Structure formats: C-alpha cells, structure tokens
Structure 1
Amino acid sequence: MPAVPSTFADSHSAGQNATLETRLARFPAQQIWLPSQRAVSYREANSSDANSAHGRTLPLVLLHGIGSGAASWVQQFEALGASRRVLAWDAPGYGTSTPVQPDSPTAQDYAAVLREWLDALGIGRCVLLGHSLGAIVAGALAAAEPQRVASLLLLSPAGGYGAASAELRETRRDQRLAMLNELGPQGLADKRSANMVSAYAGEEARAWVRWNMSRVIPRGYAQATHLLANADLAGDLARYRGRIDVAVGADDTITTPDACERLAQAAGTRLQVVPRAGHAGYIEAPAAYTAIIDTFCRNSDAQRSQ
C-alpha cells in the first residue's frame, strides 16, 4: 500500500477534534450557471500552493455516488488540495444542481453536463475519479471524449444494469424507487447508511455517511436510479484507451469485489482491494484511499510530463 501523504496525516491529526461539517466550511459550496441555462453546485480545494503547481499537476475531479454529494469528499480536499486543484460536483439533481431533463436519463445525459461544467471552469483535461454511480458518469465522459480524461480512477464502481434483462432492470429500479418513496431522504439515511461502511468504521464515518445521504433530493435520486438501470459501464470502459485503475473495499457489500473484478477485467486492468473498508471506503478509511488517489494522480502527472 502506498504511503499516506504527509499533508493528509497532518490535516487529519489537526482536525480530528472538529466535526467534519465544521471542516467542510473551508470548502464552501459554489454555484455556476452554464450556457445551457442550468446550474451546477460544487466544492473546490484550491490553495495558493496548488495554484503555483497548476502548470505541473492535473486537476482532480471527483464524482460522488447515488446517496451522497460533493461534501462527502472533505477529507480528500484537506489532503490533496495543497498540491493540486481538486473539485467535486453535486451531480444534476443533487445540491442546487439543476436536474437533467429526461425522467429516465442515460449516462450521456449526465456526461454532457459534466463536459459543460468542466468547460465553464476552464478544465480541458483532468484526472477523473468516480465513486459508485459516479463511475458510470466518469466512464461515459471518458468513452465519448477521451482527450479530456488524462486517466480514470474508479472506486467501488457501479456497473449499471443496461446489459441485463429488461425484467432485472425494472425490478432493481422499482425496488429502489419504492424504498425512496417509503422512507424519504432522512429515512434512507437512518436505515440504509450503515450498509455503506464496514464493521470497522468509526462512529464519525458512520455519522458523515448519514449526514450526506440525508441531503439527497428525491427527484435527483429518482433520476439517478433510472440512470443506474439504463447504464452499462463495462461497455464504456472497453472503449476508453487511457489509463484506468479500479479499487474496492474488501468488505463492500454493495459493489462487491467480485463485481468490481469483472469491471476491472473489462477495462483491462487489475483490481486493488482495500482491507477493512466498505462501499464508502474513502470516508471510513481516508488514509488508505487518499494514498491510492494521490499515487494515481502523481503517476498521471508524470505520464503527462513525458
């Protein structure tokens, strides 16, 4: 396992007595209006040191999963924002981001918004990281516009059900929609967030997963559920010729190591399994995951300079 960057170790030690929400205040929510007359909300870590390194380091763009948001990446902002520009969006229908137009969208609908957002921020090429459902959006952009994606890192990627039978797709979709209708965002957070972490997760991590999940917006979550039913990440990965790495927690029961192994094979890469981590591994095991992300970004920077 790569060494943990000292910036993370220092910031984590200094901030361990503060709540994650308090620490998040260092990276306030921003909003930008795109030419298509839609808004995207996002958070950014962009220190003076990172500004001076912009010519040498690629921006890192983080895409969250179905039950989360930009705020979930606060620990990665703290660790990695000192050395590069780090941005995380609220996907369409999350935070204050405008939902996509179709009620049953495809990955391309989200990738089109992602492309427009990156253009608006002046990001022509980046390291793109997708967690869970975010991996589907990342894969769609990489397949459609590979020149924009220097490299692709997928954490506990959701593969989607686009290649499955219509019956299975509809069953999985309808089960999740029924759960949303029955529980609502707070109920989802109270009853489902524990599935996101392993038995080794501390209470701070569990509380942070709940906090983020309780803030999902029903319409955005419903559209993302349709996206999951319609998507075929393996097909997009097979079309992208850039560098791809895939990692998963050993105790992930949502996107299991076996399922992630199949996606890694479709991408022509090896799967990295992180011990003592569940689905939201970057929240409950931030040191291990931040080390993976940092090493991946540094390798991408080196490849770019060559």
Structure 2
Amino acid sequence: MLAVAACAPASRPSTGTPSPAEATYPPEGRFVEVGGHRVHYVEKGSGPALVLIHGASGNLRDWTFDAVDRLSGRYRVIAFDRPGLGFTPRIDNDGASIREQAALLSAAALRLGAERPVVLGHSYGGAVALAWAVDHPERVSALVLVSAASQRWDGGLPFFYRLTSGPLGAVANPAISALAGEDRVQQAIAGVFAPQPVPPGYAEHIGADLALRPESLRENALQRAGLKAEIAAIVPRYPQLDLPVELLRGDADTTVGLQIHSVPTSRQIPGARLTVLPGIGHAAQHAAAPQMDAAIDRAAARAGLR
C-alpha cells in the first residue's frame, strides 16, 4: 500500500535530460508526491472535485484538449497521468496493475484535498476507476465510466503488445519509437475516433510522441497484458458497489464493445445507469462531450454534490 508523503508540488520533473518528445510536449501541470512516487496532474476550477483518468497509450493531454477548461466552470477538475505514461513515472518494472494505479491516484487525490471526488475513467482508465471504487470506496462519491473496459473478453493479447512487453522489447521498442512516422500516428489516432473525425488540433495537442518513448511503449504493453485477469478479479465485487454509477458508451465502439462490457456491467452494479450513444465510437469523451458532461452532472447530483 502506498502511503501519502508530504511534498509540495513541483513545476516539472527533476530527473535526467528531457527526450525530444518531452521537450516538445513538456508537463502541463504540477507534481504531487505519494509515498515517494511523483504524480503529474493538472488542476483547474472550483466546486465538487472531479478526477479524470485517461486511457491506454495516452496521457492527461487527452483531457486538457478541451474537457478540463469546459468542466472547470462548475467542478474542481483534476486530471492525472497514469503511471508510466505522460510524466508520472512507472511504479515498478512489471507494469502497474489497475489496483496499484487506483491506490496511487486515489492517494494523490487525497493528498490534494479531494477526499471523495467523482471519478471518471475512459477506456482502460475506466478499469482503474472501477478498481478505485472497489478497493477504496471511502475515497469516491460517484463513478462515470466512458467507453470503459470492465469485463473479460475473448481472444489473446495482440502481437504488438506481446512484442513490446516481452524480452524482445528491449530491441523492438527503441526501433518502433525511432521509425514510427507521422502517417502511422495519424492513422492510429483516427482509428480511436472512428467513425467520427479527429477534432481539429487534437493530434497536435495530444503529444502522441510521449506514448512512443521506449519506456512508455513497454509500460503500456505490460498494463494491457495484465488487464483481462485484473478485471476478472474485481468483477465479482461489482454487486457490492454502493455509489452512483453512470456508464456512457457508443454503439459504434469497436475497441471496447458495448455488449461485452457496458451492458453486463450496468446489470451487475446496483443502480447503475447506462446511456447508449447511437453511431458514436470509442472516443465518446470528445465525440459526445455534451452527453459526457450531462452524465457527470447526473452522477454528482445523485451523490448529493450538486
């Protein structure tokens, strides 16, 4: 268990020379220390605390593209970089589990004075949000799960993740990092947003090169490799959750399917409410921003925060 350590947030990391990606996309926020581990975060606004957790292969810039500014008019918004991604260092060499990440981020929120925030997770971040609620129910008021991974699924680990998480990753990851072209990056981003277009300016803002750092490629792959078993371990505890839960899911999401994930999860969590978005893909936090904001407001109201 990670213990909270007193440490004033810093303006930028203090270790090593920044990589080209880090120099181009420097930290946007500050740092808080939890048990000797630094966590990068952006905070803005006032009102009920709202924590935003990004998905795989991403960082908190997904939220600072527009959500942080938009929501800060009525919430105290805190967006975190998950361990090993963005500017939060990895926890260890084995890939941080969703429960380890939940322990770290919930302690960081507590350190920042957000004792019982509304916690929103997108995609992989939704699994972290669920682990937060399962393991630390006293530190969360409500959940908003956007395109969230929440159930086991058929199929094995894709080759790319087997390669980048395995022994050959020591050679492959630097090569992938060096050879990944702009076209491939743009295609990957477009695939996440499909069938919707990528919003103007998003690709330039997100800092995809941060995810292509060799160490981030490996951490992301290790996290992805452990996800199915980690979710399976917390699913039996969903019926015990006693808090407002809002699920938001596009029915055109081919990355984390509606019927595999959100439908059974909405039935397993008492009182959970599922909103299905016709024609919306995986990036519902952008493609259906008004609906996401409404789900946040409903969760906050149900928790007695608004």
Report the TM-score, using the length of structure 2 for normalisation.
Answer: 0.75
Task: Indicate the SS of the match to 1:204.
Answer: coil
Offset of residue 212 of structure 1:
4.4
**Alpha-carbon distance in 2 for matches of 1:212, 1:299:** 35
Query: How much has 1:202 moved relative to structure 2?
Result: 4.5
| 1:281 and 2:271 matched | no
Gap regions ≥5 residues in structure 1: 1-24
Which of 104, 110, 114 is the matching residue for 2:101?
110
| Residue 157 of structure 1, CA deviation | 0.8
Aligned-residue offset at 1:134: 0.8
Indicate the structure with greater helix content.
Answer: 1
Q: Where do residues 91-102 of structure 1 align in structure 2 (5 Å cutoff)?
A: 91-101=82-92
Tell me which of the two structures has the higher relative contact order, counting C-alpha pairs closer than 8 angstroms and 6 or more residues apart.
1
Greater shift in the superposed pair: 178-187 or 72-81: 178-187
Q: What does residue 31 of structure 1 align with?
A: 31
Q: For residues 174 and 160 of structure 1, what CA distance do their matches in structure 2 show?
A: 21
* 1:297 and 2:297 aligned: no
CA offset at residue 282 of structure 1?
1.0
- Whole-Å separation in 1 of the counterparts to 2:158 and 2:105: 24
Matches within 5 A, 1:256-271: 256-259=257-260, 260-268=262-270, 269-271=272-274
Instruction: Establish whether residue 43 from structure 1 lines up as the match of residue 42 from structure 2.
Output: yes
Aligned residue type for 1:229: K
8 Å Cα contact 1:197/1:278 also seen in 2? yes
Percent identical = 23
1:275 is displaced (CA, Å) by 2.6
- Show the 5 A alignment for 1:53-72: 54=47, 58-72=48-62
**1:119-198 alignment, distance < 5 Å:** 119-159=110-150, 161=152, 168=155, 171-172=156-157, 175-178=160-163, 181=172, 183-184=176-177, 186=180, 189-198=185-194
CA shift for structure 1 position 227: 3.6
Shift of 1:292: 2.6
Deviations 1:124-163 (A, max 9, x none): 11101111111111111111121211111101111254xx
- Cα deviation digits, residues 154-185 of structure 1 (max 9, x gap): 01111254xx79xx5xx316542436857449
TM-superposition CA deviations, 1:217-255 (whole Å, max 9, x none): 223312321342332153342331211111111211111
Residues 208, 274 of structure 1: CA spacing in aligned structure 2 closer, same or farther, 3 A cutoff?
Answer: farther
- For residues 59 and 69 of structure 1, what CA distance do their matches in structure 2 show? 20
TM-score w.r.t. the length of structure 1 is 0.75
**2:151 and 2:265 in contact (8 A); partners too:** no
Equivalent-residue separation in structure 2 for 1:208 and 1:139 (angstroms):
30
| CA–CA distance in structure 1, aligned partners of residues 163 and 265 of structure 2 | 28
Q: Is the 8 A contact 1:172 1:229 kept in 2?
A: no
